Chain A
Amino acid sequence: MVERDIMARVQAQFGERVLASYEFRGQCAVTVRPADLRAVLVWLRDDGEINADWLLDVGGVDYLGYPDDDDREWRYEVAYQVYSMAKNHRFRVKVAVPEGAESVPSVWDLWAVANWMEREVWDLYGIRFEGHPNLRRILCHDEFEGHALRKDYPINKRQKLSQPAENLLCDKVEWA
């Protein structure tokens, strides 16, 4: 199934709950609210024709200062890239995250692989994933303050570990 057909099926199924949709060079995506995210992803996974059983990637976007973008009502997006191993087609779902309410439901229970991907988005964009079992930083060190890929993070700001040796002690970490 081409992505345009998947997008049409999503639009027919969810109607007004789809905030925005676009196609670019054969790649299609829909944008939904955080409250609708899990319903859309579960439907994509369980629908017999789409069968998107593999979550390829979860990534954050910060649109602060994005050119020609005045009508976007939310600052952040989290993009979910899904793929069907049986059908060999893929689709993208974005969730709109407004500033001041950086919270998205976790899909860790749907795809276990989302665990580390959501930690990465939390680490770099500061978007919380509600229901995540272990929402700690994954790339930056434990003493890091702020979220480095936010557009208002100072580009020259450097943060070093104050207690380098203690950071090596793995037994202080509670693993999920």
Chain B
Amino acid sequence: MGLENHLEGMPVIATRLDEVINWGRKYALWPMPFGTACCAIEFMGVVSSRFDVSRFGAELVRFSPRQADLLLVMGTITQKMAPVLKQIYDQMPDPKWVVSMGACASSGGFYDNYSVVQGIDELVPVDVYVAGCPPRPENVIGAIVKIQEKISRESISAWR
């Protein structure tokens, strides 16, 4: 195309704004781990050296929701814990994404009883559900890749 020819010798490339913003966002996810059960133990493997989620740019775990853009809900959410999860989600700045990790967070799991929320999508919008009890670390990395694919399809105009 013609634009680069006119800029010959200058350190400039031409691209779409969505492309470069999404590229930056998807390889710099900052997870907020909301770990309430054994799935959170599996997440320790995800961030540790053996599986090493930093290969996918999502290793900077933040325990403050105000510094995070990826909410990882890992474990059983009880009715009593539900307002806490909602509050954490509301405190995260846009744009933000949610992964529901494991059977309990996604559906209540085998805790079909008086005390457990039957899936966190009753409380917050979920982007990716991860099957397993608990899921393997590869599944969690797979969910992060799914989030990255979703981010690369997004447009900044949609966030306005």
Q: Which residues of A contact B (CB under 8 A)?
A: 139-141, 144, 148, 153, 155, 157-161, 164-165, 167-168
Contacts and interface: CB of A to CB of B under 8 A. Distances in A.
A167 B81 CA distance: 10
22 contacts: A139-B115, A140-B79, A140-B114, A140-B115, A144-B79, A148-B113, A148-B115, A153-B114, A155-B113, A158-B114, A159-B114, A160-B79, A161-B79, A161-B80, A161-B82, A164-B82, A164-B83, A165-B83, A165-B86, A167-B80, A167-B83, A168-B83
B46 to A, nearest CB: 29
Given A157-B114, A158-B79, A160-B79, 6 more contacts: A139-B80, A139-B115, A141-B79, A161-B82, A165-B86, A165-B87
Interface of B: 79-80, 82-84, 86-87, 113-115, 118
Contacts of A168: 83-84, 87
B80 to A, nearest CB: 4
A19 B13 CA distance: 88
Nearest to B85: A164
Given A140-B115, A148-B115, A153-B114, A159 B79 contact: yes
A160 B82 contact: yes
A141 B84 CA distance: 12
Which 4 A-B residue pairs are closest in the complex by CB-CB distance?
Answer: A164-B83, A148-B114, A141-B80, A167-B83
A168 B118 CA distance: 21
A31 B79 CA distance: 35
